[in-house]
Chains A and B, each alone.
Chain A
Amino acid sequence: MDHVSLGRTGLKVSRLCLGTMNFGPCTSEPDSLRIMDRALDLGINFFDTADVYGRKRGEGVTEQILGRWFAQGGDRRQRVVLATKVFGDMDPPDRPDPNFARGLSARKIILACENSLRRMQTDWIDLYQMHHVDRACPWDEVWQAMERLVQEGKIRTSARRISPPGISPRPSTRPGSGTSWVWSRNRASTTSKHAPSNSRCFRPVGTSAWGSSPGAPWREASWRE
């Protein structure tokens, strides 16, 4: 399995990233554990999850499965570059709480991160991603929370941001980031007349081209700051 740098970071990740969205909702826990073991055996060291995965079955069900897998030891946690996400609804269905609902307030980010760490039985997240953008939350607030998490050692890589055009904040040149990533995701689903594909994208601030998957929109679409 080839390993490449994740963008301009020094982090080396496998070219295939293991997505875990099925773990819990579709794939049993024993099978999920086996898949993760096999992935490591195959050299896949990049695992992606999200706090909301498995939500219909309970709080952070997928992250909990990852946590029980890490807890098996064998350096499983150390061998994995762990990516998770924050943004989605994490309030209990029977007790709606606006501060746990979709969003990226500093309070939400910090609590969500701590809860993800607890569920995954780990001290750190390698790549902390914003699952979407919170148009109601000032970017300063988002950055402040992410930077604090980096300083506390709870996330290893700097805050990233989601950046649809028209809502971009000023470029981040803050310390601790080294590389300032812009993160975005696209979903060309039933509402799209175009490529049946989804993607997530990181890009350094200041560049304009970036990508999506099949249909090659990265060659035809561009971002504006």
Chain B
Amino acid sequence: MTSWLRAILGVRRRAHASAARPRLDGIEVRVGGAAFAAMRSHVENFNHGEEAGFLLCGYALAEDRDVLLAREWMPVPEQHKVRRGRYGLEWTPALSALVLARADALDAGVVLVHSHDRRSAPGLSGDDRDTAERMLSGFSRLLGRPCGSVVLGNDAAAGVFYRDGQPAGELSFIRVVDAPLVFWYPTVMAKPGRARRRLDRQNGAIGRLADAHLAAASVAVIGVCGGGSHVCQQLAHQGVGRIVPIDDELVEEVNLGRMIGATPSDVDRTPKTAVMRRLISAIDPEIHVEEIRGRFPEEKTLAAVKTVDLVIACVDSFLVREQVNAYCRRHHLPLIDIGMNIETEDEVLVAADGHMIVALPGSACLRCTPLLSDAVLEREKRAKPPGYDLNLDALGDPQVVSMNGVLASEACNSALDVLTGYADATRGAAWWGYDGRRGELTNCGSPPQRRGCPACAEQGFGDSELS
């Protein structure tokens, strides 16, 4: 089958860097909330028998896990169905060829998706496995990407995958990136056990289930000084199970006015990430703190960011913010960004404008709006060329600890929403403006995605394959 497809389409077998890696068991499929809803509404409609579709996916390797990142959904259209009954669906070879050609054009893997009528423990039938082995193992060899077949049930999903024509393991879970994050495992997860006593009051407010979600969650905080130190402290109090502080600097004397947890004895000797470890561990020694002493986008920081559920950016550069945003888009990572701009005239504060943004797959990203326009980025490139921040005589931006704290607290409310869904879909992806002079925090809603946005153009691309 694969040889005739190859002949017709002119698709040559691809070799990707990922293909050389040792085989790993277990594959994650990651998809945005709106895309998942569209997928479900198609395959869970049994009015005319079974339905199916193809999810074309980018690829990333996150620590020890293969991740397939949804890029495009191709439902099986009516004109390509050749037989349908209550059970089973077949489609024309021409559709298989179209799917393969499209996946090749996108440099994507293929996941065949269908539903088993909301079973709590879905499983691939014998026919499903035959189809996967016959078609998708061949696709995986041609495309050089993991390909597989997934069946959806009732809040649960199962699947099987191939890499280079060989079995590559089962589906670990589907991660639906929305507010809240949702995970569909092969069987519905058991109810959580005993909640943490120290979170008794928070559990009283948002429920014991939130405790379990938070304990299993991991959050990267990029930049842990003015805003990020507040964020780390609150994430620890909230009970997030794994926190990844990322920063490459030592504590300086001028940081003591705004960095939570820093003391005079840390000045010029303690990495900011080490202060965060101390701060977090003092609140709860059970929290796993993974210090990354580096600057985004150094490779170790990229590798660490890929492994988390949520990224909170607390950086003071638009250029770095742009890169964090682009990386999160590529990997379907939810991003919360905070920033503060204070202007003074003769040491009198005339403006204190801040923002807090939650960007989810399918919503506007930071680059969709004037916050990260070409003009803003160009201006910063001119004002702060490479190496600028290594100049000890350069003036730092003015900051006020309490104003940073307002934005950080609201960012942690959004983190709680993304990780637990406590706000019941009333928050989600949106922009907040903050006026530190007047004390006003305003929810401005979510702007539309910008056509031609360079970051959204790379949504779901995953790891770079330029090597």
Partners in one complex: no
Q: Hey, which bits of chain B sit against chain A, CB under 8 A?
A: none
